[in-house]
Copies of this chain bind each other. A is one copy, B any other.
Amino acid sequence: MPSIKIQKSTMKDQVYEIIKEMILNQTYQLGEKINIDTLATELNVSNSPIREALTMLEKQGLVEYVPNVGSRIISFSPTAFREICFSLFTVVYGAYELCLSQNKIDIAIEKMRQLLQAQKDIDDHSDMQTSIKYALAFDKSIVYATQNTYLLSIYEQMEDIFFLMALHINQRNEEEHQRNIFEHSMILESIEKNDIAAAKHWFFIHYDKHV
């Protein structure tokens, strides 16, 4: 058999993945305009799959279309920022309560311990991307522990925007990595003690960020 790699994804999907990666690795800055012609030349494709990919990114909230301006990376207005934080709170805290009511909290605790340790063990704190991936993995592990496919899919649909938001928070503050570890420790400790009120308090603090 000839060794042909089967390319299953469509042009649009590939362009979508490339632009998304450029947003998440900060090739594009927040609020930066996306020049479709430039991108078409760089990627050697027509404008059409780029427009389609941008529509997908708009639906996901990573890109916003501004009349007379065009498409640009979201810039997290204070309102949008708070809204995203509270959505994350709703999903993650809700997942915690779901774990409690369905006796799945031990699965969550074990995974949270591992991920908190991994987060503490990160050697290179200047590698913001990796730091944030570990930080978000801690929060996600609570949703994961519910073993609820639909809730997990809700979380995963928002995951990229959470990543971008976390990147945005961390760049404002060098101490954010340590604060994040502290808040995660307090959340885990409260959950281990089965102190629901304290857990709620720390979840709330953890997600009550401002720009």
| Residue positions of A touching B, CB distance < 8 A | 61, 80, 83-84, 86-87, 89-91, 93-95, 97-98, 146, 148-151, 153-154, 157-158, 161
The contact of A150 among B61, B93, B146, by CB within 8 Å, is: B61
In the complex, how many angstroms separate the beta carbon of A78 from the nearest chain B beta carbon? 13
The main secondary structure of chain A at its interface with chain B is helix
What residues of chain B lie closer than 8 Å to A95, measured between beta carbons? 90
Copy number in the complex reads 2
What residues of chain B lie closer than 8 Å to A154, measured between beta carbons? 87, 91, 154, 157-158
Q: Which of A61, A83, A146 has the most CB of B within 10 A?
A: A83
In the complex, how many angstroms separate the beta carbon of A109 from the nearest chain B beta carbon? 19
- Bound together, the chains give a CA A64 to CA B95 distance in angstroms of 25
- Bound together, the chains give a CA A28 to CA B84 distance in angstroms of 37
Known interface pairs A93-B94, A94-B94; A87-B158 also in contact (CB < 8 Å): no
A157 to chain B: closest residue by CB: B157
The contact of A148 among B87, B94, B148, B151, by CB within 8 Å, is: B87
- Bound together, the chains give a CA A157 to CA B153 distance in angstroms of 10
- Bound together, the chains give a CA A140 to CA B165 distance in angstroms of 26
A143 to chain B: closest residue by CB: B90
Contact yes or no, A149 B90, CB < 8 A: no
Pairs A–B under 8 Å by Cβ, sample size 29: A61-B153, A80-B149, A83-B148, A83-B150, A83-B151, A84-B150, A86-B98, A86-B146, A86-B148, A87-B150, A87-B151, A87-B154, A89-B94, A89-B98, A90-B91, A90-B94, A90-B95, A90-B97, A90-B98, A90-B151, A91-B94, A91-B154, A93-B94, A94-B94, A150-B158, A150-B161, A154-B154, A154-B157, A157-B157
